[in-house]
Structure 1
């Protein structure tokens, strides 16, 4: 294969954005060959803009079986991702799925299994993995520069959404339409980076989610969660969509100091001696190990969605490893599912979660949803 013929499923905001850079030829080795959407108006506009060079289909299945594409980029509602990905794999197509991978881990696990059986290249649009800040953080932690991680705190409350935003679509902020709120809609990138950059998944979570706090919506829009890890580390994750101005601060403490990411900068308070070694040998009350405040240089760049699509295309053509393998989508989703399940059951949730229990609780919410046709 010399070139990857890409088909896009869903021409909403995200799908249209992906189409634009493909049409402009910004992905070497790839062309936009086809698009699919349930809206005749969107397909008509696509035909007017791109002509016969891009085929149009009114269903994903028609595009998958057409022979017109080698891989598909799924930009449809959250619930549809696993079903459409599995269908695409069954037609021998490579798949790149928008975040989140799905709404509940049981369906995403089925998608992962189908991907493995297909042998096709399977990626997820975790575009924040291209952010030099988080790439540097991952590098510092994996190299041992920070030492063993002891505590993590992420306050991510700069997702402000007004009531007008939620009123802009009947499917928004409903259990049947989106399958959740801030955790499934705004935070998938942070939940992914939390475990990707640190290399750690929690062993159990206790969370407190507020549903429709200061907003007339069904789903969670204010969350405080506490996580525990196998090595004894702990983590706190705080997020909301109603605070203004909000905060985005990620702080990680380790045996060799503390790293803080805030305001697009990284600061490393590096201990000259490991805290554990200092504590073992120190005999002076109130003494502390010497710490150096270092402003960590971070390269510019990070082409976000474009870079993930380039990476996926390169993997198809040349077999290179993916920056964001699709299988990783279940990790952040497991964390968000655990937070909701902890709230619904009012107790600790062990990871991996009870997938059947989560599905049961989710169905209870969908049955009460204003958009309960699902």
Structure 2
């Protein structure tokens, strides 16, 4: 094989965006050969947009069965991601799934098992892993530049969404429609980067979600979460969709300094010696370690979605290592599920997550959800 023939499942906002990249010729070794969508208006739009060179189908089963695709990009509503992926793997097709991997860990675990059984390439659209800023952060932490991680603080409140956004579709911000709010819709990239850059998953989480704060919605739109790690480190994660103006500031403190990312810039505060070593030898009551402030150069542009598509294509064709393996989608989702569950139970939640308890609590909220009927494709994507 010298070219990957792509099919896109769902051609709303995200799906059409991926199609635009694939048809632009920017992705070496890739070609868009088919798309599918359950809504006729989207299919008619696709026929006009892409012409005779791209086949248009009503569903993924027909598209995959046509023999026209080697890989699919899944850009359907959240709950459908694992179902579509499992069906594609069963037909021997490679899968690149949009974030989030799913809504609850149990269904994503089943997707991961299907991927492993199929032997096909499996990726997730974590395009922020392509951002040189976060790649640099991961590199500095993993190589020990700031020593052992002690504290992680991320305040990510620049996800502002007005009521008009939530009113644009009755599926939005509902348990049955999206499966959650800011955690499942806006923050999957941040939750992934939280664990990916530090290389750590917490051992337990205590969280406080507020549902419909300053907005007429049923899901969380204001979150404060606290996490603890096996090495004694702690983390605080704060997010909201009603702060104006919002903040995006990430701090990672280690035994040899601190890294701060804000306004797309990285600053490192480097201790001359490890804090534990300084503390052991110091005899002066108000002394502190010598620290150097280092402004790292701008990281440069990020290839974003195109970068993930190129990497995935290279993985299928040449076995290149995936920047965002699909199996890792379960990690950020575990954090999201744990934050929800801690709030629902008003208690600590230990990791690994009790998946059955989380699913049962989610189902209670789905049963009382305001979402009652499918929405047009224009609203759903």
- CA offsets per residue over residues 139-167 of structure 1, 9 Å max, x none? 00000101000001000000000000000
Q: Does 1:91 align with 2:91?
A: yes
Report the 3-state secondary structure (helix = DSSP H, G, I; strand = E; otherwise coil) of the residue aligned with 2:85. Answer: helix
Match of 2:117 in 1: 117
Distance in 2 of aligned mates of 1:299 and 1:252: 18
Distance in 1 of aligned mates of 2:164 and 2:195: 33
Q: CA deviation at 1:129?
A: 0.4
Q: Does 1:7 align with 2:41?
A: no
- CA offsets per residue over residues 97-154 of structure 1, 9 Å max, x none? 0000000000000000000000000000000001111000000000010100000100
Match of 2:168 in 1: 168
- CA offsets per residue over residues 227-260 of structure 1, 9 Å max, x none? 0000000000000000000000000110001110
Q: Does 1:256 align with 2:229?
A: no
Question: What does residue range 17-28 of structure 1 map to in structure 2 within 5 Å?
Answer: 17-28=17-28
Match of 1:332 in 2: 332
Question: What does residue range 45-64 of structure 1 map to in structure 2 within 5 Å?
Answer: 45-64=45-64
Match of 1:358 in 2: 358
State which drifts further: 124-133 or 60-69: 60-69
Match of 1:155 in 2: 155
- CA offsets per residue over residues 20-43 of structure 1, 9 Å max, x none? 111111110000000000111211
Q: CA deviation at 1:315?
A: 0.1
Match of 1:231 in 2: 231
Report the 3-state secondary structure (helix = DSSP H, G, I; strand = E; otherwise coil) of the residue aligned with 2:343. Answer: helix
Q: Does 1:133 align with 2:157?
A: no
Match of 2:378 in 1: none
- CA offsets per residue over residues 9-65 of structure 1, 9 Å max, x none? 011010011101111111100000000001112111211122111001001111121
Distance in 2 of aligned mates of 1:237 and 1:311: 30
Distance in 2 of aligned mates of 1:133 and 1:198: 13
- CA offsets per residue over residues 258-282 of structure 1, 9 Å max, x none? 1100010000010011101000111
Aligned residues, how many?
374
Match of 2:284 in 1: 284
Match of 1:242 in 2: 242
Match of 1:42 in 2: 42
Match of 1:316 in 2: 316
Distance in 2 of aligned mates of 1:162 and 1:213: 12
Distance in 2 of aligned mates of 1:65 and 1:183: 35
Q: Give the structure-1-normalised TM-score.
A: 0.99
Match of 1:105 in 2: 105
Q: CA deviation at 1:298?
A: 3.8
Report the 3-state secondary structure (helix = DSSP H, G, I; strand = E; otherwise coil) of the residue aligned with 1:8. Answer: strand
Q: CA deviation at 1:372?
A: 4.2
Gaps of 5+ in 1: none
- Any runs of at least 4 consecutive aligned residues in structure 1 with deviations exceeding 4 A, and if so which? none
Distance in 2 of aligned mates of 1:350 and 1:47: 50
Q: Give the structure-2-normalised TM-score.
A: 0.97
Report the 3-state secondary structure (helix = DSSP H, G, I; strand = E; otherwise coil) of the residue aligned with 2:69. Answer: coil
Distance in 1 of aligned mates of 2:347 and 2:64: 44
Gaps of 5+ in 2: 375-381
Report the 3-state secondary structure (helix = DSSP H, G, I; strand = E; otherwise coil) of the residue aligned with 1:343. Answer: helix
Q: CA deviation at 1:297?
A: 1.9
Q: Is the 8 A contact 1:176 1:373 kept in 2?
A: no
Distance in 2 of aligned mates of 1:41 and 1:336: 34
Q: CA deviation at 1:373?
A: 5.6
Q: CA deviation at 1:301?
A: 2.4
Distance in 2 of aligned mates of 1:249 and 1:258: 13
